[in-house]
Amino acid sequence: EHIEKLSNYLYEKLNWHTELYVDSKDLKDLKTVLANIPKFSIDHLGLSNEGLDDLYYWVEKGVKIKATGFGRIDFDPVPVMKQIYSINPDALMFGTDLPSTRAKVPFTEKDIQVIRDHFSSEEQEKICFTNAAEWYGMKV
Protein backbone atom coordinates (compact mmCIF):
# COMPACT_ATOMS: atom_id res chain seq x y z
CA GLU A 1 0.00 0.00 0.00
CA HIS A 2 3.02 2.30 0.42
CA ILE A 3 4.94 1.36 -2.70
CA GLU A 4 4.21 4.54 -4.66
CA LYS A 5 5.26 6.86 -1.84
CA LEU A 6 8.37 4.85 -0.95
CA SER A 7 9.41 4.40 -4.59
CA ASN A 8 9.13 8.09 -5.30
CA TYR A 9 10.97 9.02 -2.11
CA LEU A 10 13.89 6.70 -2.89
CA TYR A 11 14.03 7.87 -6.49
CA GLU A 12 14.00 11.56 -5.53
CA LYS A 13 16.53 11.22 -2.69
CA LEU A 14 18.88 8.54 -4.04
CA ASN A 15 17.94 8.01 -7.69
CA TRP A 16 17.08 4.39 -6.86
CA HIS A 17 14.72 2.40 -9.01
CA THR A 18 12.10 0.03 -7.63
CA GLU A 19 12.48 -3.67 -8.29
CA LEU A 20 9.14 -5.46 -8.33
CA TYR A 21 8.57 -9.12 -7.62
CA VAL A 22 5.07 -8.96 -9.04
CA ASP A 23 2.92 -11.47 -10.85
CA SER A 24 1.99 -10.20 -14.30
CA LYS A 25 -1.64 -11.15 -13.66
CA ASP A 26 -1.66 -8.37 -11.01
CA LEU A 27 -0.25 -5.67 -13.29
CA LYS A 28 -3.65 -4.56 -14.56
CA ASP A 29 -4.82 -3.74 -11.03
CA LEU A 30 -1.53 -1.92 -10.30
CA LYS A 31 -1.52 0.18 -13.47
CA THR A 32 -2.45 3.47 -11.77
CA VAL A 33 0.12 3.00 -9.01
CA LEU A 34 2.89 1.90 -11.38
CA ALA A 35 2.21 4.84 -13.69
CA ASN A 36 3.23 7.10 -10.79
CA ILE A 37 6.55 5.36 -10.12
CA PRO A 38 9.34 6.99 -12.12
CA LYS A 39 11.66 4.01 -12.60
CA PHE A 40 11.03 0.32 -11.95
CA SER A 41 11.84 -3.16 -13.14
CA ILE A 42 9.85 -6.39 -13.02
CA ASP A 43 11.47 -9.65 -11.93
CA HIS A 44 11.21 -13.15 -13.40
CA LEU A 45 9.53 -12.23 -16.69
CA GLY A 46 6.40 -11.44 -14.70
CA LEU A 47 6.01 -15.00 -13.37
CA SER A 48 2.65 -15.87 -15.04
CA ASN A 49 1.42 -16.38 -18.55
CA GLU A 50 -1.79 -14.69 -17.46
CA GLY A 51 -1.17 -10.96 -17.73
CA LEU A 52 1.65 -11.03 -20.26
CA ASP A 53 -0.16 -8.42 -22.36
CA ASP A 54 0.04 -6.11 -19.36
CA LEU A 55 3.75 -6.92 -19.00
CA TYR A 56 4.26 -6.04 -22.69
CA TYR A 57 2.48 -2.73 -22.07
CA TRP A 58 5.16 -1.81 -19.52
CA VAL A 59 7.93 -3.01 -21.84
CA GLU A 60 6.62 -0.51 -24.41
CA LYS A 61 6.87 2.18 -21.72
CA GLY A 62 10.57 1.39 -21.14
CA VAL A 63 10.31 -0.77 -18.03
CA LYS A 64 13.13 -3.28 -17.59
CA ILE A 65 12.27 -6.97 -17.28
CA LYS A 66 14.55 -9.39 -15.46
CA ALA A 67 15.08 -12.57 -17.47
CA THR A 68 15.60 -14.60 -14.31
CA GLY A 69 13.95 -17.37 -12.36
CA PHE A 70 12.98 -19.62 -15.24
CA GLY A 71 12.11 -22.24 -12.59
CA ARG A 72 9.49 -19.85 -11.16
CA ILE A 73 7.48 -19.14 -14.30
CA ASP A 74 4.52 -21.03 -15.75
CA PHE A 75 5.42 -20.63 -19.43
CA ASP A 76 8.22 -21.25 -21.91
CA PRO A 77 10.56 -18.27 -21.44
CA VAL A 78 11.85 -18.17 -25.03
CA PRO A 79 8.77 -16.82 -26.89
CA VAL A 80 8.14 -14.32 -24.09
CA MET A 81 11.75 -13.09 -24.16
CA LYS A 82 11.61 -12.91 -27.96
CA GLN A 83 8.44 -10.81 -27.74
CA ILE A 84 9.94 -8.51 -25.11
CA TYR A 85 13.10 -8.11 -27.17
CA SER A 86 11.08 -7.29 -30.30
CA ILE A 87 9.12 -4.62 -28.40
CA ASN A 88 12.16 -3.07 -26.73
CA PRO A 89 15.67 -4.52 -27.19
CA ASP A 90 16.83 -2.53 -24.15
CA ALA A 91 14.32 -4.12 -21.77
CA LEU A 92 15.63 -7.61 -20.99
CA MET A 93 18.28 -8.14 -18.30
CA PHE A 94 19.44 -11.70 -17.62
CA GLY A 95 20.36 -12.79 -14.10
CA THR A 96 20.97 -16.00 -12.21
CA ASP A 97 18.26 -15.72 -9.54
CA LEU A 98 20.66 -17.28 -7.05
CA PRO A 99 20.11 -18.63 -4.48
CA SER A 100 16.72 -19.52 -6.06
CA THR A 101 15.20 -20.30 -2.66
CA ARG A 102 11.56 -19.99 -3.80
CA ALA A 103 11.97 -21.45 -7.27
CA LYS A 104 10.41 -24.81 -8.12
CA VAL A 105 13.49 -25.44 -10.24
CA PRO A 106 16.64 -23.59 -9.09
CA PHE A 107 18.99 -21.81 -11.47
CA THR A 108 21.43 -23.95 -13.44
CA GLU A 109 23.80 -23.26 -16.30
CA LYS A 110 21.00 -24.49 -18.58
CA ASP A 111 19.31 -21.11 -18.00
CA ILE A 112 22.30 -19.40 -19.61
CA GLN A 113 22.16 -21.89 -22.45
CA VAL A 114 18.56 -20.85 -23.17
CA ILE A 115 19.85 -17.36 -24.00
CA ARG A 116 22.77 -18.73 -26.04
CA ASP A 117 20.55 -21.06 -28.05
CA HIS A 118 17.88 -18.53 -28.97
CA PHE A 119 19.53 -15.14 -29.32
CA SER A 120 22.28 -13.82 -31.59
CA SER A 121 25.64 -12.73 -30.17
CA GLU A 122 24.58 -9.09 -30.38
CA GLU A 123 21.29 -9.83 -28.60
CA GLN A 124 23.11 -11.88 -25.94
CA GLU A 125 25.44 -8.95 -25.28
CA LYS A 126 22.47 -6.67 -24.65
CA ILE A 127 20.52 -9.18 -22.56
CA CYS A 128 23.44 -10.40 -20.46
CA PHE A 129 25.46 -7.21 -20.09
CA THR A 130 24.69 -3.90 -21.80
CA ASN A 131 21.07 -3.45 -20.72
CA ALA A 132 21.86 -4.07 -17.05
CA ALA A 133 25.06 -2.02 -17.14
CA GLU A 134 23.14 0.97 -18.45
CA TRP A 135 20.28 0.37 -15.98
CA TYR A 136 22.66 0.34 -13.04
CA GLY A 137 24.54 3.40 -14.31
CA MET A 138 27.76 1.73 -15.38
CA LYS A 139 29.75 3.18 -18.24
CA VAL A 140 29.52 0.88 -21.24
50 within domain boundaries: yes
Q: Is the pLDDT of residue 4 over 80?
A: yes
pLDDT of residue 47: 96
Q: Is the pLDDT of residue 9 over 80?
A: yes
Reported pTM: 0.94
17 within domain boundaries: yes
- Find the mean pLDDT for residues 106-121: 95
Rounded Cα distance, 3 and 77, in Å: 28
pLDDT of residue 100: 86
Rounded Cα distance, 43 and 59, in Å: 12
CATH number at residue 63: 3.20.20.140
pLDDT of residue 41: 97
Range of the domain at 29: 3-135
Q: Which of the four pLDDT bands, split at 50, 70 and 90, describes residue 103? A: confident
14 within domain boundaries: yes
pLDDT digits (tens, 9 = 90+) for 17-48: 999 999 999 999 999 999 999 999 999 999 99
98 within domain boundaries: yes
68 within domain boundaries: yes
Number of separate domains in the chain: 1
140 within domain boundaries: no
Q: Is the pLDDT of residue 1 over 80?
A: no
